[in-house]
Amino acid sequence: MSRKFNVAIVGATGAVGVEMQKTLEKRNFPIKSLRLLASSRSAGKMMHCMGQNLRVEELGADSFEGIDIALFSAGGDISRELAPYAVKAGAVVVDNSSAFRMRDDVPLVVPEVNPEDVKHHNGIIANPNCTTTIMLVALKPLHDLSPIKRIVVSTYQSASGAGAKGMDELANQTRDYLDGKELKPHFFQHQYAFNLFSHNTAIGANGYNSEEMKMVYETRKILHDPNIRVCPTCIRVPVLRSHAESIVIEQERQVSVEEALEALQNAPGIKLVNDAANNHFPMPSESNERFEVLVGRVRADLSCERSLALFICGDQLLKGAALNAVQIAELL
């Protein structure tokens, strides 16, 4: 690419905002200028990115003059309030929140899955939920072999999905537990260290929480299939970084394990980790700070015909958030 772009990161001091900076640098994104934006609490802070020291500016409606691409990672309320100002100033917004994901006029994009949808934007492109993104990177090559009709997925979601405060809570509670101190939840409702609990979002009338319903609706939108059936269970686990997912899919025809492995081996954004002889399969510790989604434990479902089971891991801060946003910017 010969052209260079003026880029802004909204929420630059947060966990995802920091990873956005690192990812732009690692992928050698063609930046003409980089503007770091955050709340008044962080304004004035110095951050090092792209070989230069940059001062964080206070975020406001007038922050986007001259910006070509604005990467938002500051929460849905801020996106709803300020993304229209960025678009009005001439920027294309890549938004990491849930604010615009289900709007008909906003494409919801995973570059390895539906890159063609980017061209239909009207100034805003949505980044999917982290669990949906990581899952669909792994499922797209299998969906191409034979359309997926049903997905049953259980997620094991790390502290990074809740941002810096969630990661701090896990680290502090683990330290207190090992020191024999009483564990006092602050950010989460329940004890986090050495514990599991249902994802900390509200349960709806149908018995599913909002994190789970995101996976249902977003999968249908990204795959352009309103009839695909998705049954998710989202669990918070005491892992600092990287989400894991156990997935069972039912397809139109029976895809063999060998066929599936070959497709996964050659698919973009995937690293196959499927060493049965050494019981070596995807692990969060090995997916940390990796761009690829790790995929393994690929096997036939013994309980259902035309069905496969697999296990995956992906870095929530990268492919689940920052990397996917930067890849969308690359498509632009």
Catalytic residues: 130, 243
For 201, the token pair is 């979002």
Task: Give the integer Cα–Cα distance in Å for 85 and 271.
Answer: 39
Helix (H, G, I), strand (E, B) or coil at 235: strand
Q: Which residues of 117-135 are buried (b: 16+ CB within 10 A; e: fewer)?
A: bbeebebbbbbbbbbbbbb
Compute the CA torsion angle 42, 43, 44, 45 (nearest 10 deg). 30
Q: What share of the chain is helix, strand, coil (3-state, %, to 5)?
A: 35, 25, 40
Task: Give the integer Cα–Cα distance in Å for 282 and 287.
Answer: 8
Contact 293, 313 (CB under 8 A): yes
Specify the DSSP class assigned to residue 301: -
